[in-house]
Structure 1
Amino acid sequence: MQAILGAGGAIGTELAKALRIYSPDIRLVSRNPKRVGPDDQLFVADLRQADQVSAAVKGTEVVYLTAGLPYDYKVWQRDWPVIIKNVIDACITHHSRLVFFDNIYMYDGDNLNQIMETHRIDPSSRKGKVRAELIRIIWDAVKTRGLSALIARCADFYGPGVNNSVLGEMVIKPLKQGKTANWLVSDHYRHSFTYTVDAASATALLGNCPEAFGHTWHLPTAKNPPSGREWIEMVATELGVKPRKRIVGKTMTSLLGLFMPVMRESREMLYQYDKDYVFNSDKFEKRFAFQPTSYEDGIKEILRSEPPGLS
């Protein structure tokens, strides 16, 4: 039995599909789980409740923590440490291996060109500090409590059916609706995005590769990412529309943050848009001979999955 904690999101849904190669028994855990495959086992649990997490993990060999919390620092600060403690305790109690699906917020934000697993952990944001603490807690449990774990980390992601990605909200959705695309700070810098189907396939592979545990892995992400301008032009070309764009600078982001909570929470992440943001997954690609989906093919697949004009 393999379990996905926080099933139902963009990654959890794709992961449920990818795991069928490795296990006939998949348990989907969330407060409102929905089947992805006909034989999926649904388990209702709140990850903030230790007893519910323990019951969800019992009987599993591998546990994938893919949960996403509301994009709110106070929620992250309050709930993430509780969730990670509950999951670690349950995995140790039931002798389950842990795969933690992670982002890059904890890395040093001064240089984001060729971000590798060895990149210095020195977060530039409050949310990044929360993520860094989670990583510290996981590796401490590995060293001192016998936890078997690995970190599967990706850049910002995009993919078919993803409704709340940065690329989807800023570029794909408005252009499909005949509106103007948006980009933060400057559209001159390159920006990596990890394709969700690749991320899920790679995460499933790692969870079923015993020697992968004890390590951090960057999930496969295409090289040579487009700049913001090139992303907008690529999507517009596929849609057959003009690449109309609006650059939302730091000042405008601050003003919008007075009225829009999402923009207010995004201000501290603008450092990812005022320089090249290039994610390196050579370690995974070489170890598993994995070729990431190209950006062009990824965009084509996304647009093919939904008729133009629909949100």
Structure 2
Amino acid sequence: MIHTILGAGGPVGNALTKELLENGENVRLVSRRPIQTTGNTTWVNADLKNYQQVVAAVQGAKIIYMCAGLRYDKKVWATEWPMIMQNLINAAKTTGARLIFFDNVYMYGHVPGPMTEETPYNPSSKKGEVRARIAENLMGEAKAGNINASIARAADFYGAESLNSFYDAMVLAKYAKKQKAMWLGNPGSLHSFTYVPDAGKALYCLGQHSESGNQIWHVPTAPALTGHQFIQLAAKAFNVPPKFTKVNKLMLQALGLFNKSIGETAELYYQYQYDYNFTSSKFEKAFGLKPTTYADGVQQLSQTLFKPV
């Protein structure tokens, strides 16, 4: 069986690749940038906006994992995500392969309680509107019986090599260098973070269980903590004082004048100002896969990815 990862080379794609290889699977890595291969992997160059390239890249695959991300720009998302999703849907129809789409929670918008797979879409941002539209398109095709597709959703990441997580970049990386941390939004609010290795395990698990098809799944994620608790955990792991600076929306917008990616985060500030409580009990009960605790995850990262120099 060939497992094909679209958007290979990113944090989640790498975590999934590791799981697949450790379990003796054959993996096809699809990306625009070359990726070093091993005995059980092959690399294919493809632009996901090009349907013919997508179809060629997934030929012979039994399972397609969509782990790609786009440039963090609402205009890019509005034009490219619908096109890419339609290409994925058409490729799944043509090949008959199962499609597992790795997703975020932007489409839920501000949720005053726990986020579950049943939470209605009520986006509070332009990016959330795009994610709602493409998710509805995908699951509409699945419910109609045209394809076999699932959505695997995660909360904000931590443990990503690329430092595209604010907890990684603004807390763990800072404490590793004995610098003061930064916390985005209200440190008294709850927040959930999905450990990247857990996301890889979850995607592999879904791929192994055909009964998971045509459903939405929240990948295993530890119960939400407050920002203050996350700061304390990190400070303990790195043996530094729990000092941090709060970053509010005005500061974020000011920083965005010099860094467009940071500026693009401003429309999602509600996620950091209010409780962001992501739950994954459906997945955990169905497959018995438990999330890494935050204490264990941060401790592991303090000895590996963010090992003090």
TM-score range, shorter chain: over 0.9
Secondary structure of 1:183 counterpart? strand
- Asked if residue 46 in structure 1 is aligned to residue 52 in structure 2, the reply is no
The count of corresponding residues between Structure 1 and Structure 2 is 308
Instruction: Report the AA paired with residue 48 of structure 2.
Output: L
Change (3 A) 1:21 1:173: closer
Distance 1:22 1:96, change over 3 A: farther
The answer to whether the Cα contact below 8 Å between 2:11 and 2:162 also exists between their aligned partners in 1 is yes
The separation in 2 between residues aligned to 1:166 and 1:114, in whole angstroms, is: 21
Q: Does the 8 Å contact 2:105/2:153 carry over to 1?
A: yes
1:119-268 paired onto structure 2 within 5 Å: 119-144=119-144, 146-159=146-159, 161-223=161-223, 225-268=224-267
Offset, 1:145: 6.0
Give how far 1:162 is off.
4.6
Q: Which moved more, 1:3-12 or 1:85-94?
A: 85-94
Identity of aligned residues (%): 40
Whole-angstrom distance in 1 between the partners of 2:218 and 2:198: 11
CA distance in 1, matches of 2:143, 2:282: 23
- 1:231 to 1:78, Cα distance in 2 relative to 1, 3 A: same
Question: What is the SS of the residue equivalent to 2:110?
Answer: coil
Q: Deviations over 1:157-195 (max 9, x none)?
A: 112635221211111111212222111221111211011
Render the CA deviation track for 1:2-57: whole Å, top value 9, x for unaligned. 10000000000010111236663210000114146432011111111111001001
Q: Which residue of 1 aligns with 2:307?
A: 308
Letter in 2 for 1:81: P
Note the 1:79-90 alignment, pairs <5 A. Answer: 79-90=80-91
* Partner of residue 16, structure 2: 15
**Cα 1:154–1:36, aligned 2, differ >3 Å: closer, same or farther?**
farther
Partner residue, 2:76 = 75
Do 1:192 and 1:278's aligned partners in 2 also have CA atoms closer than 8 Å? yes
Q: 1:308 to 1:18 in 2, by over 3 A?
A: closer
Gaps of 5+ in 1: none
1:243 aligned counterpart, secondary structure = coil
Q: Deviations over 1:197-246 (max 9, x none)?
A: 111111111122111001100000112x3211221121111111112211
Instruction: Specify the code of the residue in structure 2 equivalent to 1:249.
Output: N
- SS of residue paired to 2:117: coil
* Per-residue deviation, residues 91-113 of structure 1 (Å, max 9, x unmatched): 110111100000000003142x3
SS in 1 for 2:107: coil
Aligned-pair CA distance for 1:307: 5.6
Q: Structure 1 residues 232, 134: closer, same or farther in 2, change over 3 A?
A: same
Q: Distance in 2 between matches of 1:51 and 1:160?
A: 31
| Partner secondary structure for residue 228 of structure 2 | helix
Provide the residue aligned with 1:269 in structure 2.
Answer: 268
Secondary structure at the residue paired with 1:247? Answer: strand
Moved more, 87-96 or 134-143: 134-143
C-alpha distance in structure 2 between counterparts of 1:17 and 1:271, whole Å? 34
- Contact 2:34–2:43 at 8 Å: present in 1 too? yes
The answer on 1:296 being equivalent to 2:291 is no
Amino acid at match of 2:107: M
**Matched residue, 2:29:** 28
- What is the one-letter code of the residue matched to 1:166? F
Contact 1:105 1:131 in 2 (8 A): yes
How high is the TM-score relative to the length of structure 1? 0.94
The one-letter amino acid paired with 2:233 is M
Q: Secondary structure at the match of 1:179?
A: coil
Question: Equivalent residue of 2:151, what SS?
Answer: strand
TM-score after normalising by structure 2: 0.95
Identify the range of structure 1 (270-279 vs 6-15) with the bigger mean alpha-carbon deviation. Answer: 270-279
Contact 2:160 2:168 in 1 (8 A): no
**1: CA distance, partners of 2:183 / 2:40:** 41
